[in-house]
Amino acid sequence: MARQTGFVDDYEEEEVMATAKSKETVPEVRQRRPRDPQDASRQVAAKDEAEDQGFPLPSTTDIIRITVLLIMITAAASSYVTSGESYIFGLPRPWFTKPTELKQYFRGPVYLTETELARYDGSDPSLPIYLAVNGTIFDVSAGAHTYGPGGSYHAFAGHDASRAFVTGCFMEDRTSDLRGAEDVYLPVEDPDENISSAERKTRAERERRVARKKVRDEVDRWVKFYTNSKKYFEVGKVVGVEDEPAGPAPTLCAQAEKGRPKRKNMNQKKEAPGKPVQ
């Protein structure tokens, strides 16, 4: 009987030791804290608010990305519609966005004699096309189809053709000498006109003063045209030209002479009766 008791004691001891060993190897399970009902209600409220809004608010990065994208789309569309003349509809491109003008800015102004200017007439594809008005040189390369070889205004390229801008004699008057250019505005005298010599002289002096002002105004108009052009721009000045050219003044070409107003016709218009009053 004592032997059986010892066997049982040994068995119980082994069981106790095994149980203790198993407790050492099993990791301790961390107990979760019960969920706070208030936290759950706040999460539900936030979710409901987001659903009511329909979509979450965009971040600052999203706003910047969308803005840049819209600007790029607008610039591309405007450039396409205006053939590259504007990145914003109705507004001209800034000069620093035009490669030719930007290149000229860093190169600085050019100073050319009339002989040197003649090289820039478009015959050399490696050179820009220049023309000058009243001593100011403009780059007209953007209008190569007009000012280049074969163009309708190629005669102006490589020259200061201020006189031609007034008289319309493209080939004959490719010069900056404006002496006598006012004759294009002066009427051809009528020898049969009943007027004294003194009156004729006084009138001629007055009309010549007015005609010379018209010449200056016409030249200034063309300078402003090229200065304010969206396609052309100023690059420098013509040098080595005398303020008072030597030799006789140029005469009007046949075309300009033919286009002068006739004094006889002017007097007839003055004498023509007006329309009767109804």
Residue 203 in this model has a pLDDT that exceeds 60: yes
Residue 91 in this model has a pLDDT that exceeds 70: no
Residue predicted with more confidence, 1 or 81: 81
Residue 128 CB contacts under 8 Å (≥ 6 apart), including other chains: 100, 120, 139, 141, 235
Contact by Cβ (8 Å): 117, 136: no
Give the model's pLDDT for residue 159.
98
Q: What is the dihedral of CA 119, 121, 127, 133, to 10 degrees?
A: 90
Residue 225 in this model has a pLDDT that exceeds 70: yes
Q: What would the mean pLDDT of 105-114 be, rounded to a whole number?
A: 83
Alpha helix locations (H) across 189-271?
197-227, 254-258, 263-271
Mean pLDDT is highest, among 24-38, 40-54, 80-94, 144-158, for 144-158
Tokens of 13: 């001891």
Q: Find, among 148, 145, 137, 149, the residue nearest to 108 by Cα.
A: 137
What's the alpha-carbon Rg for the chain, to the nearest Å? 46
CA 277 to chain centre: 54
The residues spanned by each domain of the chain are 55-93, 95-271
Please give the single-letter amino acid code of residue 210: V
Contact by Cβ (8 Å): 154, 148: yes
Mean pLDDT of the chain: 79
Give the model's pLDDT for residue 58.
72
Mean pLDDT is highest, among 12-16, 52-56, 60-64, for 60-64
CATH of 95-271, one of 3.90.105.10, 3.40.50.1170, 3.10.120.10, 3.40.50.720: 3.10.120.10
The pLDDT-based confidence of 54 (bands split at 50, 70, 90) is: low
Whole-angstrom distance, CA of residue 227 vs CA of residue 248? 32
